[in-house]
Amino acid sequence: MEHSVNPWVALAYLAAGVCFILALRGLSSPATSRRGNRFGMIGMLIAVVTTLITHGLGFDLSIGETAATAGLDFDPAALFEIVVAIGIGAAIGLIIARRIQMTAMPQLVAAFHSLVGLAAVLVAAAAFVNPDAFGILGLDGNILTVSRIEMALGAAIGAITFSGSVIAFAKLNGNMSGSPILLPARHVINLGTLLAIIVLTALFALSGQAGPGENPMFWVIVALSFAIGFLLIIPIGGADMPVVVSMLNSYSGWAAAAMGFTLHNTAMIVTGALVGSSGAILSYIMCRAMNRSFISVIAGGFGASSSGADGGAKEQRPYKQGSAEDAAFMLKQAENVIIIPGYGMAVAQAQHALREMADLLKAEGVNVKYAIHPVAGRMPGHMNVLLAEANVPYDEVFELEDINSEFAQADVAFVIGANDVVNPAAKTDKSSPIYGMPVFDVEKAKTIMFIKRSMGGVGYAGVDNEVFYLDQTMMLLSDAKKMVEEINKALGH
């Protein structure tokens, strides 16, 4: 079964890999994200077509074939199955893409990660049961040692990705509580399970096999990996979801890369490595944004303590409440306004009304900027995508480290649907589950306008916010979109 790859096939896979690299480069900035998406689509098209030609349609493109011997070993049944599978997947993807709301994008990403993980498990299981079809049998009739390693690692990472992504989806979608679910002795259980997976993988790699699919250690590795994926994610609190999403993205890439070795598919190896490494880098960036180590997040450290989050009855404290007319009047008098969007804006779909408000203020000579926290929303870049959807100019959008020093000169800090990313408890309260996370210094602004539905709710981390009760804070209690639309009406008068 082993053969050298035709240079044209290698060249096609190389072109696909270059397109994927350009896609990642493009997606690093909102201004080039569309171009990055196009490169990704072109790269995937090249990879899929090349794989179909060399495998699905039966072309023998091995080196050494002559023009007379190389050709088409056409299998109509296989082609029909492939076309049907592609058609079903394309139809499902098209329907989801047209119907999905931006607020549901994080859980959609988690769901997609789970499918990648499950695909890796199924490919590994198929190779284990029918190794001859994958060309991984040695002369002794056993699966090659290196193939057993690839198979076990791919199945383990894929299973962890699948079960972890299912839990992440449930938390993001509201099917499970966003609060950490802490099991007794969870660290001991997790460590023991991970060690068992590593030991069994080593034993599986070194063991022989009486026949295809007959070594029970493979199935034990898969079962334990499904379990550890579940155990690793349930203790993680809602405030860590951006890191969890990027981490699972990385896992799905490494699972795909491992299966690329099993399938002898260069495109899968390259693509998986790109996704895995970029996801790992993004996870590191997210952890730095929260001032947490990656290990502590995976262990359920951030938000894992129930003390100080929602452990008692909330104290009733005085606050100032304003109206849309009040807000419009003060915004018109301002010179510098900084808008801080959060997940509440996404839920209310208020980004278009917010852009309209900014346009009205700019027409009055007000300088308007947007401040985006790295972990605002439920996934990395969530707020950037929403603002781009509303055609907010890219040069008006700033990251935390670039704009935080400007709050002291801001006349108005306009917080819409955000909470944890502007909570000063992250800087002052060591008992708070968000302590140490870099946050916006909105309390330094002359006036703070805070839009939220009611005073009864808290942020995703379950922490009350001292900003609500500051002398310069005006609470605008309403649905975010409705309130901004009312402000716009008042500004237009």
What is the value of pTM for the model shown?
Answer: 0.76
Beta bridge mates, 62 = 5
Residues 383 and 351: their CA atoms lie apart, in Å, by 9
The CA-atom distances, in angstroms, between 166 and each of 52, 109, 161, 183 are 30, 11, 8, 18
Q: Annotate 155-170 with DSSP letters as a single string.
A: HHHHHHHHHHHHHHHH
Instruction: Give pLDDT tens digits along the chain (493 positions).
Output: 444 557 788 899 899 999 999 998 888 777 788 899 999 999 999 988 888 887 655 555 444 444 334 444 556 777 788 889 889 988 998 898 888 877 777 788 888 889 999 999 999 999 888 888 787 777 777 788 888 888 899 999 999 999 999 988 888 877 877 667 777 887 788 889 999 999 999 999 888 655 566 788 999 999 999 999 988 888 876 667 777 888 888 888 999 898 888 888 888 888 899 989 988 888 887 777 666 677 766 665 444 444 444 444 455 678 899 999 999 999 999 999 999 998 889 888 899 999 999 999 999 999 999 999 887 777 777 888 888 888 899 889 998 889 999 999 999 999 998 888 898 888 887 777 677 788 899 999 999 999 988 877 666 556 778 889 999 999 999 999 999 999 999 998 6
Which candidate in 240, 420, 441, 464 is catalytic?
420
Residue located via tokens 């309209």? 356
- Respond yes or no: is residue 420 known to be catalytic: yes
H or E element in which residue 476 lies: strand 473-477
